[in-house]
Amino acid sequence: MFTASIFLDYLKTYMKTRLSYRSDFWVEVFSDLLFLAMNLIFIVVIFEHTQLLDGWTREQIIFVYGYFMVPWGVFSAVFNLWGFTEKYIVKGEMDRVLTRPVHNLAQLLLENMDPSALLSALIGVAIMGYAWPALGVTLDWYDPLMFLLLVLGSVMIYGGIYIALTAISFFSDSPTGILPLMWNIQSYGRYPITIYNKILQLVLTWALPFAFVGFYPAAFFLEAESLLGYALLTPVVGAVFLAVGLLVWNKGIKKYRGAGS
């Protein structure tokens, strides 16, 4: 409850700050919309030349992409740690964080949250709604609950992986460059992984499980029976990777010795 009350205070401060510069806010919103539109156009262009992509229709792939955007938007809003190394390690801001009573990771997430990224999640839901009528599947009473559970699992996968990668900064004095690489790899999760070779499918399922942030959970709503087991594993995989991420983070905190001179 204490952390939740602080979250509300941070949210109010964020909104006051962003709305003080309305032009910048709307430019960012427009750029995000343009980025999403380009990805959709890419899918449409592909299907101008083929009716199916490894057995998947255009609407099914659009639906998978829409689902992919929902956990990505939530993750981007909450786990915004892209500039961690430069700001908190190199410039010594981590020393300030560690002197405060709130848990250090919670502080970092609150200080860097980006609620405007939730726009991506809302657009993702709209994309799913657009594709749904053409899928020929039924909407069961438990689907909204499953949707929330699967999205939570997907967000935990994102969080676990990126918290662990961010924690590498505690063990290395220089940025690793891994985060930009991971950002590119995660994009594979927005398409059916059956279109990739077997090795990449294995990596995206168990090593870097980005298939669980888009394709597998979306397949639950597409009623792909052969993938149902994978879809239901999404919360489990999310819990495991988040636990590993927090473990690596706590190990890193113990290694941290301050910015120095």
The domain ranges of the chain are: 2-255
Which residue, 214, 210, 47, is CA-closest to 134? 47
In contact, 212 and 234? CB cutoff 8 Å: yes
pLDDT score, position 176: 56
194, 202, 219, 236 from 55: Cα distances, Å: 9, 20, 13, 28
- pLDDT tens for 168-202 read 888 876 555 677 788 888 989 989 999 999 999 99
d(CA 151, CA 232): 11
Q: What local confidence, expressed as pLDDT, does residue 66 receive?
A: 94
List the pLDDT tens digit at each of the 261 positions of the chain. 777 777 777 777 777 776 677 677 677 777 777 877 888 888 878 887 778 888 899 999 999 999 999 999 999 999 988 888 888 988 889 999 999 888 899 999 988 888 888 889 999 999 999 999 999 899 999 999 999 999 999 999 999 999 999 998 888 765 556 777 888 889 899 899 999 999 999 999 999 999 999 999 999 999 888 999 999 999 999 999 999 999 999 999 998 887 665
Q: What is the pTM (predicted TM-score) of this model? A: 0.90
* 53, β-bridge pairs: 56
DSSP state string for 65-123: HHHHHHHHHHHHHH---TTHIIIIIIS-HHHHHHTSSS-HHHHHHHHT--GGGHHHHHH
